[in-house]
Amino acid sequence: MERKPIVLSKNDIALIQIFHKSDDLLDISIGAWDHFVVKEAAHDAAKQFISQLKGRATPRFLKALRDEIELLLR
């Protein structure tokens, strides 16, 4: 798929940075990574993601996101 801006609304786009744990990643301390492997952290991360979309993403975007997530989970 061609990379395009993630348009949330007429005034907002999303910039998502994904960090992969590796020996070269010096930006995040080792202790912080331990939090990400905890089961409950997935719920916290999802809430954080949605929290940052509130007031910025249109209902059309959120419905399309839901549809894509449902496809991914199948």
| DSSP collapsed to 3 states, the chain | CCCCCEEEECCEEECCCCCCCCCCCCCCCHHHHHHHCCHHHHHHHHHHHHHHHCCCCCHHHHHHHHHHHHHHHC
Parts of the chain with a pLDDT under 50? none
- pLDDT value at residue 57: 94
